[in-house]
Chains A and B, each alone.
Chain A
Amino acid sequence: MANVRVVIVDDHDVIRVGVRQSLGEGIEVVGEGRDVESAIAAIAETKPEVVILDVHLPGGMGGGALDVLDACLKKADAPKFLALSVSDAAEDVVAVVRGGARGYVTKSISGPELTDAVKRVALGDAVFSPRLAGFVLDAFGASAGDIAVVDEDLDKLTAREQEVMRLIARGYSYREVGEKLFISIKTVETHVSAVLRKLQLSSRHELAHWAAQRRIV
């Protein structure tokens, strides 16, 4: 497989250097951005496959990563975005995923895991950290027993999707989830992508108001 071309966007030099070093084999860093404007410019210039995007960025309209997503996803050859953040705040997570990011990982992620996540995103899959899976279960009311009967119901998860999310939240890798549920990795990926789509498109009341509820008072 050819190297995955990546642009790293983060406002801290130390983090950019660290991310660059922790990325393993098969990934080539072609550009960097330190704020919204330089990120958009670097992405337009180098046309990467994946952008590792910090959630909080200076510049732009003040929306941080959301501004970059806005500007880049409209174009035809838009790259795929993997959000990387120190923040565990629900409003940040939900906002960037709804803004178009294909995954969300926290900065405590290990080098090999990040490499794996980037490759996964490059292939068009979704990447969920345990925490994001937990958020999803919470937001879609999984603990309250809300189960979708048909796949098309955007406001609820199906029983299978809930199982997959639960295992991811428990720290299982996609391969382990597949082994546990006796399904292939490909099927796990399909379920995760379906959940991502629901997370992005759902008009579920809780999702919209959920971030607001959890804001700092």
Chain B
Amino acid sequence: MLGAALLVAAVVMTAARYNITAIGPWMPPAVAFLTGTALVWSPLDAASSREGRRPDLIVGLFSREHLSRVMTGLALAGGAMWWFSRWEFTTQPVLRAIVVPPVILLGVGLLLAPWWMRLIRQVGVERMERVREFERAEIAAHLHDSVLQTLTLIRKNAGDADTVARLARAQERDLRSYLYQDRRTEAGSVATALAAAIAQVEDANAVAIDTVSVGDAPTDKCLRAAVAAVKEAASNAARHGLPPISVYAELTPERYDVFVRDSGPGFNPKRVPADRLGIRESIIGRVSRHGGTATVTSKRGTRTEVHLSMPRKVEAVMEA
């Protein structure tokens, strides 16, 4: 503050010394206006950076120490503008009428800017708090509906190891997807659709299946068929194969490749009876109807791997 005053004095003295009169009579009011603006802004700025996160900012403005500064500033700037409005810098009244109002408006705007900015910030802070509160309530509701219910069920079935394991696995998966993944719909994400299908297999057969997905896209008709075939393959692996069972899906712009693999005991695909439709119809048939291929690699005593490969954009090709 003192520094600014000294600076102004120095400028004025230098001007006087070199006899610069060309700067005209607008200089003192301009300086007064700038000083006034600085005075008005200074406490507001300090206050808003200090209490930026507190919603009751407006109140803090009018503490006594700041009040005098703000009032002095307003008076100085107001006086300068009043002088400007009366200043006859030209003889043409029309020009004055055009120039003066915008300049005054600009000046007032500058003076009021801190209040306005602060109001915006305050609205932002309030909105953020509302959002946070909403999120918290939603999480609490979710935990109540899922985890607490499951815990109650587990306590009731404490003697039944299978039921407890199934409940715990289902709950773990639910919580995991809630915590770690973007919440996407099955239609919007083939990875989510695949995870949901595998989850059903896990629940139905009480096994754990390690699923890894690379790449993602909305689930179109072909991809949906592929997911259904994968579900069948995983279900076969869960019923006939040994754990660990793993599913790996990779989506590239050209194709969707899925590998379902168990840890034995293996079988001879050629010796599956003709009336067993699982592999032939639900996996190979389903995939080939959409232009894809499915191969089953297995031998007695080794791991079985089912590889599904589904080309993408088949529909686009057929339309063209």
Interface residue tally for chain A (C-beta within 8 Å): 22
Query: Within the assembled complex, what's the spacing in Å between the Cα atoms of A130 and B244?
Result: 12
Task: Determine whether the beta carbon of B214 is less than 8 Å from that of A137.
Answer: yes
Query: Within the assembled complex, what's the spacing in Å between the Cα atoms of A124 and B26?
Result: 78
In the complex, identify which listed stretch (B33-41, B87-95, B205-213, B286-294) lies at the interface while the others stay far away. B205-213
Query: Within the assembled complex, what's the spacing in Å between the Cα atoms of A138 and B183?
Result: 19
- Interface check A169, CB cutoff 8 A: yes
- With contacts A137-B250, A143-B251 taken as known, whether A110 is within 8 angstroms of B214 at the C-beta atoms is no
- Interface check B159, CB cutoff 8 A: no
Task: Determine whether the beta carbon of B244 is less than 8 Å from that of A171.
Answer: yes
Chain B residues in 8 Å Cβ range of A89: 179-180
Task: Determine whether the beta carbon of A144 is less than 8 Å from that of B261.
Answer: no
Chain A residues in 8 Å Cβ range of B250: 137, 142-143, 166, 169
Chain B residues in 8 Å Cβ range of A169: 212, 214, 248, 250
Task: Determine whether the beta carbon of B246 is less than 8 Å from that of A134.
Answer: no
- Interface check A61, CB cutoff 8 A: no
A contact residues vs B (CB 8 Å cutoff): 87-89, 108, 110, 130-131, 133-134, 137-138, 142-145, 166, 169-171, 214, 216-217
Chain B residues in 8 Å Cβ range of A217: 182-183
- Interface check B25, CB cutoff 8 A: no
Interface residue tally for chain B (C-beta within 8 Å): 22
How far, in Å, is B179 (CB) from chain A's closest CB? 7
Contacting A171 at CB < 8 Å: which of B179, B180, B210?
A: B210
A-B residue pairs in contact (CB < 8 Å), sample of 8: A89-B179, A108-B210, A130-B210, A143-B252, A145-B252, A166-B250, A169-B250, A216-B182
Query: Within the assembled complex, what's the spacing in Å between the Cα atoms of A133 and B249?
Result: 12
Chain A residues in 8 Å Cβ range of B253: 144-145
Chain A residues in 8 Å Cβ range of B176: 88
17 new A-B pairs (CB below 8 Å) besides A88-B176, A131-B212, A171-B248?
A87-B180, A89-B179, A133-B212, A134-B212, A134-B213, A138-B214, A142-B250, A143-B214, A143-B251, A143-B252, A144-B252, A144-B253, A171-B244, A171-B259, A171-B261, A216-B182, A217-B183
